[in-house]
Amino acid sequence: MAAPPRPPPALMDELVEEIALRIPPDDPARLLRAALVCKRWYRVLSDPGFRRRFREFHRTPPMLGFIRNLGPHSTFVATPSFRPNRPARWNCPAVDARHGRVLLHVAAEGSGRSPLDNPFVVWDPITGDRRELPLLRSSIYPSSWNAAVLCASSAGVCDHLDCHRGPFLVVFVSSNGWRIVAYVFSSEAAAWSKHASVQLPVPGNRISLGPSALIGNVLYFMFFFGTSVLKYDLGAREISQVQLPPECFLARIVPMTTDDGRLGVAIVVDNRLYLWSRESCPDGDAGWVQSRVIELEKLLPNEALTALHGGVDVDGIADGVAVIFLRTDKGVFTIDLKSCQVKKVYKDSWISGNFPFLSFYTPGTRHWQQPLQLRDEEQAPQMPDKLKILNCRLLHQG
């Protein structure tokens, strides 16, 4: 009887790593399946050195889902291969999501939603860690406000590829109708500090509670149907305003970061998506340029374009991956600005905000550090059914 064929030689660790580096980061389940092949593969792919190389190889964190607000509640809508660490549903709205963190505003049942009465919470969906911030003590009682969370090293020091466990800032801007005040919470100091205050040029203008944009060390917030964007410079601790192009007046506007790192805005008018970017002029001033127009009638289904309750609105932007969220009467759609691919991501149209969550998710994170009983490599082919069961449990425990 002929001897059974010898098994092929095992892949060297270096080849395993090189192959795994090329797994798309927006499908972390594939990385997990590779890590569960055997002990050696798990050791290679859960090593901090591989995780660092994986992030550096891909550079741009993938969108693993988004947080949607529905009235006073919020839910994490995850991609098929990712589940956040518990909890994924909150009895409070999300205010912002950036650099691997989500900012929530906790309001007790029956209480108001003022940030002076109820605390903010910073939540890490990867690890499940949550930190409740102390109550804010403001010199004015806000009639309108917004807030943003960001890495504490936002001014070019950090690449933001894996900083969700590090120090962070929460920037809070508010208005009482006559004056705008900015406060900043530092996780290192564990306290709020007053940073800036300025008189409103147009009394009564309200700050919009919606997505903000971060460009370098500057945050941009929107006003309700205003003629300008609120600009807060973290480095200079200054509040100012940037005038919008006249074509954007009286439309729902969402600020964004352009591909080359400048301020942009997105609006929908007459079933067309308009993208504007702020350009520098030879005289040193800056003006607005309409950079792109996308005909939504060619991309969205006809029933989504009906204006029964206001038509189509921009409701969120995933900076870095060039994805725009559109709210319609038939649900929430995303448009990939690079490929113009359209995807329906939520069926409910009564959404009050979408905040994309971008982060790397690789074997070795605390969420995946389970007591795995992996076999040796020569036994790996006998394991597929058990691996499927284990993989299913890990990916759906959220």
Query: Which helix (H) or strand (E) segment is 169 a member of?
Result: strand 168-175
Quick one: DSSP state of residue 366?
G
Please give the Cα distance from 359 to 349 (Å, whole number): 26
Q: Would you state the pLDDT for residue 156?
A: 62
Bridge partners of 334, per DSSP, are 325, 343
The answer for residues whose C-beta is within 8 angstroms of residue 257's C-beta and 6 or more apart is 213, 214, 215, 263, 264, 319, 320
Please give the Cα distance from 88 to 69 (Å, whole number): 12
Q: Would you state the pLDDT for residue 22?
A: 93
Q: Would you state the pLDDT for residue 20?
A: 92
Q: Would you state the pLDDT for residue 274?
A: 94
**65-79: b (≥16 Cβ within 10 Å) or e:** bbbbbeeeebbbebb
Contact 315, 354 (CB under 8 A): yes
Please give the Cα distance from 380 to 368 (Å, whole number): 20
Please give the Cα distance from 118 to 176 (Å, whole number): 18
Work out the number of other CB atoms within 10 angstroms of the CB of residue 360: 22
Q: Which two tokens stand for residue 90?
A: 């909150």
Alpha helices in 297-370 (DSSP H): none
Work out the number of other CB atoms within 10 angstroms of the CB of residue 383: 15
Quick one: DSSP state of residue 115?
T
Please give the Cα distance from 187 to 119 (Å, whole number): 14
Please give the Cα distance from 183 to 174 (Å, whole number): 9
Q: Would you state the pLDDT for residue 376?
A: 47
Cβ-based burial of 353 (10 A; exposed 0-12, middle 13-18, buried ≥19) = buried
Q: Would you state the pLDDT for residue 66?
A: 92
pLDDT in tens, the chain (398 residues): 667 776 666 678 888 899 999 999 998 888 888 888 888 888 899 898 999 999 999 999 999 999 998 878 889 998 877 888 777 788 889 999 999 999 999 875 544 567 888 899 999 998 889 999 999 988 778 889 999 999 998 656 788 888 888 999 999 999 988 899 999 999 999 999 988 889 887 777 889 888 999 998 999 999 887 788 999 999 999 999 999 988 887 778 899 999 888 999 999 988 899 999 998 766 666 789 999 999 999 999 888 887 655 678 898 999 888 999 998 888 899 999 999 999 998 887 666 778 999 999 887 655 444 434 444 444 443 334 444 433 433 333 33
